[in-house]
């Protein structure tokens, strides 16, 4: 609905979706996962409009959120029953396609509607075997899995013109380390290859702890506890924007923490936009 209201897509009878945003740039702020029953259908939609947008001279960027990291790391505590059903349906549809690994692109292009039709989800859905559901989820989202490889194409942090986007936020240590390196290491982890520090697990600065790019809440709190906390956030933000050489108009956009009153840029002189609504 949001994409239609923004004039970026049209949905036709039968569910086909077309990018109509021309040369617009869309940045999705992460946490596609763990937000309802039809996650894979949404991933398929995003995959499709990314290609269409590029062909039209636009761009669709997707950020890695902490919930993408949780699923890649085997933490499924926030997955709905319907999403498990959808994952099982996705696994069955993969089995039906010969040479599914070689047909990854076409699978992701076409499975959105098929998955939505196959997965009824919810409390009244079909019987769900926990072992089968867990195995399907792991196979799809563990590093090297077909959907983890799709997530490997997402950005952990992104700069567009004078704006930096990150799900939780970018701190000076992240900027000093380098956005490109952070994105590359997250991608290698999702693909099931070793990260830059030689480790096979989640890259620490990107997704591996409370001060990582996807987990920090230094900036994203709806209200700062006191002036000292806000001053610290302001100092960190200024240092980060300076390290990124974004100039006097530089700003940061973050998600991660719901803003109950809507999009929030009331703090830090308008240099910070909190957009998880």
Catalytic residue among 47, 67, 155, 167: 67
Look up 256 and say whether it is catalytic. Answer: no
Tell me how far apart the terminal alpha carbons of the chain are, to the nearest angstrom: 14
Report strand pairing: 59-62 vs 272-274.
Answer: unpaired
Residue 263 has a CB neighbour count (10 Å cut-off) of 12
The residues annotated as belonging to the active site are: 67
């Amino acid at each position: 609905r949001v994409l239609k209201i923004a004039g970026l897509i049209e949905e036709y009878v039968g569910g086909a979706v077309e990018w109509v945003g021309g040369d617009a740039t869309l940045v999705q702020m992460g946490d596609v996962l763990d937000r309802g029953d039809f996650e894979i259908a949404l991933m398929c939609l995003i995959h499709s409009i990314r290609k269409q947008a590029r062909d039209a001279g636009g761009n669709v960027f997707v950020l890695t959120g902490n919930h993408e990291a949780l699923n890649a790391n085997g933490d499924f505590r926030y997955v709905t029953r319907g999403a498990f059903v959808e994952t099982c349906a996705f696994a069955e549809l993969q089995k039906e396609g010969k040479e599914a690994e070689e047909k990854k692109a076409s699978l992701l292009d076409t499975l959105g509607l098929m998955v939505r039709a196959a997965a009824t989800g919810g409390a009244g859905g079909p019987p769900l075997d926990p072992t089968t559901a867990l195995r399907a989820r792991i196979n799809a989202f563990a590093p090297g899995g077909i959907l983890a490889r799709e997530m490997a194409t997402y950005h952990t942090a992104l700069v567009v013109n004078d704006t930096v986007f990150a799900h939780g936020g970018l701190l000076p240590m992240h900027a000093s380390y380098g956005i490109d390196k952070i994105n590359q290491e997250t991608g290698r982890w999702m693909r099931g290859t070793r990260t830059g520090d030689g480790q096979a697990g989640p890259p620490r600065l990107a997704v591996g702890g409370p001060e990582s790019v996807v987990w920090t809440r230094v900036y994203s709190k709806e209200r700062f506890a006191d002036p000292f906390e806000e001053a610290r956030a302001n100092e960190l933000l200024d240092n980060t924007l300076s390290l990124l050489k974004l100039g006097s108009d530089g700003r940061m956009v973050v998600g991660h923490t719901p803003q109950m009153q809507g999009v929030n840029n009331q703090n830090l002189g308008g240099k910070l936009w909190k957009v998880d609504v």
